[in-house]
């Protein structure tokens, strides 16, 4: 009896252990799905909401600031400077045309800018194709109305600039001419201009983002196996940095376009209006940088959240034994 009591006391004083179930494929998938769902639900809407608020507030600040100084004389001087910059750069002789969105309708927009009639959704055997066409049209229409309302301006690769000349976006004309200079250049600036579309064309951001979410973090001491595992592990471990890198061509090309535009516009503007233009470009460029930074931090944070959620579910899946 005494021996039994002593044995029981010894057993009671022994440390308790936790045994974690083997991390088979089914468990890994469960952890990944649960963690990813919660992470996406928490971080993705917040990231896009933050970017939307940032853009809206920046646009409001720009409008309020420049509308205070946008009298008729200032507007006329900026418009004239844009035309003179166009001539001095030699792009006018190369066919670059500045279209005033304030004097255009949607039919003129498609005809003059894109050389087509207004896009329509044609009956298609594929419902998916019809949906894609619909959103493509919405996007093209949206670009026009954004410019017409004085919220944006752009330069196409076929040497056409669309801007509302009677809005604060008249300040952006030299900047858009800078984009055209970059594209018509045969050096590094043309490479930057073309490389801006690479991340979008090859879906680099979705690849980085989804890999950072669905790829399981390597345990300490766990080695990679095979080329695919090495690549995805590298993306997972550097998702924030890689996201920022995808924005670098845009940041560089946008900055160069502004520098070139200011260089040519300086001699045609008063010191006061030149200062306004510099401030306009600085604020506009900072929105690109803020977007790059916030998206990079958002991706890195989402990856950390999914790892944390997976660890949480892994711990819940463990069994406690005495």
Q: Which domain holds residue 72?
A: 23-316
From the first residue on, what is the mean pLDDT of each consecutive set of 10 residues in the chain (322 residues)? 43 44 50 52 54 62 66 90 95 93 93 81 67 82 92 89 93 95 85 80 85 86 88 94 93 95 96 92 89 88 84 66 41
Are the beta carbons of 243 and 209 closer than 8 angstroms? yes
Asked if the structure places residue 5 within a domain, the reply is no
pLDDT number for residue 52: 59
Asked if the structure places residue 10 within a domain, the reply is no
Q: How many distinct helices (H) and strands (E) make up the chain?
A: 13, 5
pTM for the complete prediction?
0.77
Length of the chain: 322
Q: Is the dihedral of CA 170, 174, 180, 182 positive or negative?
A: negative
pLDDT number for residue 72: 84
Nearest to 88 by CA among 180, 164, 171, 191: 180
Nearest to 43 by CA among 288, 297, 255, 274: 297
For helices 271-316 and 72-88, give the axis angle rounded to 10 degrees.
Answer: 90
Asked if the structure places residue 322 within a domain, the reply is no
Q: In degrees rounded to 5, what are phi and psi of residue 105? A: -115, 180
Nearest to 43 by CA among 300, 314, 232: 300
Q: Is the dihedral of CA 169, 171, 173, 176 positive or negative?
A: negative
**Domains in the chain, number:** 1
**DSSP label of 167:** S
pLDDT number for residue 285: 92
Asked if the structure places residue 18 within a domain, the reply is no
Q: In degrees rounded to 5, what are phi and psi of residue 155? A: -120, 130
Asked if the structure places residue 185 within a domain, the reply is yes
pLDDT number for residue 50: 60
Asked if the structure places residue 4 within a domain, the reply is no
Tokens of 216: 């399981």
Asked if the structure places residue 121 within a domain, the reply is yes
């Amino acid at each position: 009896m005494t021996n039994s009591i002593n044995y029981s006391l010894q057993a009671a004083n022994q440390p308790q252990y936790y045994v974690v179930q083997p991390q088979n494929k089914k468990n890994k998938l469960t952890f990944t799905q649960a963690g990813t769902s919660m992470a996406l639900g928490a971080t993705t809407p917040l990231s896009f909401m933050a970017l939307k608020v940032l853009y809206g507030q920046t646009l409001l600040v720009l409008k309020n600031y420049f509308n205070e100084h946008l009298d008729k004389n200032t507007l006329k001087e900026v418009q004239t400077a844009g035309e003179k910059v166009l001539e001095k750069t030699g792009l006018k002789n190369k066919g670059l045309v500045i279209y005033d969105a304030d004097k255009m309708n949607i039919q003129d927009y498609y005809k003059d800018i894109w050389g087509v009639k207004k896009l329509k959704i044609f009956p298609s055997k594929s419902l998916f194709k019809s949906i894609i066409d619909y959103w493509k049209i919405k996007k093209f229409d949206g670009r026009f109305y954004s410019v017409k309302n004085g919220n944006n301006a752009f330069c196409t690769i076929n040497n056409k600039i669309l801007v509302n000349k009677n809005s604060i976006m008249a300040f952006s004309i030299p900047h858009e001419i800078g984009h055209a200079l970059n594209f018509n250049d045969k050096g590094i600036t043309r490479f930057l201009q073309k490389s801006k579309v690479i991340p979008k064309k090859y879906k680099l951001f979705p690849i980085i983002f989804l890999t950072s979410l669905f790829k399981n973090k390597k345990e300490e001491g766990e080695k990679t196996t095979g080329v695919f595992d090495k690549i995805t592990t590298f993306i997972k471990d550097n998702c924030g940095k890689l996201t920022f890198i995808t924005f670098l061509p845009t940041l560089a090309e946008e900055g160069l376009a502004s520098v070139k535009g200011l260089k040519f516009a300086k001699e045609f503007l008063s010191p006061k209006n030149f200062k306004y233009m510099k401030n306009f470009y600085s604020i506009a460029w900072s929105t690109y940088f803020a977007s790059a930074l916030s998206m990079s931090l958002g991706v890195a944070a989402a990856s950390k959240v999914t790892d944390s959620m997976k660890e949480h579910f892994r711990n819940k899946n463990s069994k406690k034994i005495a």
